[in-house]
């Protein structure tokens, strides 16, 4: 898969998350930002260094 095709797919995913999921993603956000939002939504703790902790106590 070419880089241009991958970017087009990522752009469509981001657009859908913004439109239908209510996510506030920056126009030039990356997949790490999306994962951070999704992990926070399901209750995981996301540390500044991107470490994920399952269900903090």
Residue 22 belongs to domain spanning: 3-53
- Count of structural domains within the chain: 1
The per-residue b/e assignment along 3-12, b for 16 or more CB within 10 angstroms, e otherwise, is eeeeeeeeee
What is the rounded CA–CA span in Å between residue 21 and residue 2?
27
- Cut 0.75: pTM above it: no
5-52 per-position pLDDT tens digit: 888 888 888 888 888 887 777 777 677 777 887 888 888 888 877 677
């Amino acid at each position: 898969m070419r880089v241009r095709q991958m970017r087009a797919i990522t752009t469509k995913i981001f657009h859908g998350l913004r439109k239908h999921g209510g996510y506030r993603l920056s126009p030039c956000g990356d997949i790490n930002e999306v994962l951070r939002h999704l992990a926070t939504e399901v209750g995981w703790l996301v540390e500044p260094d991107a470490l994920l902790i399952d269900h903090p106590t």
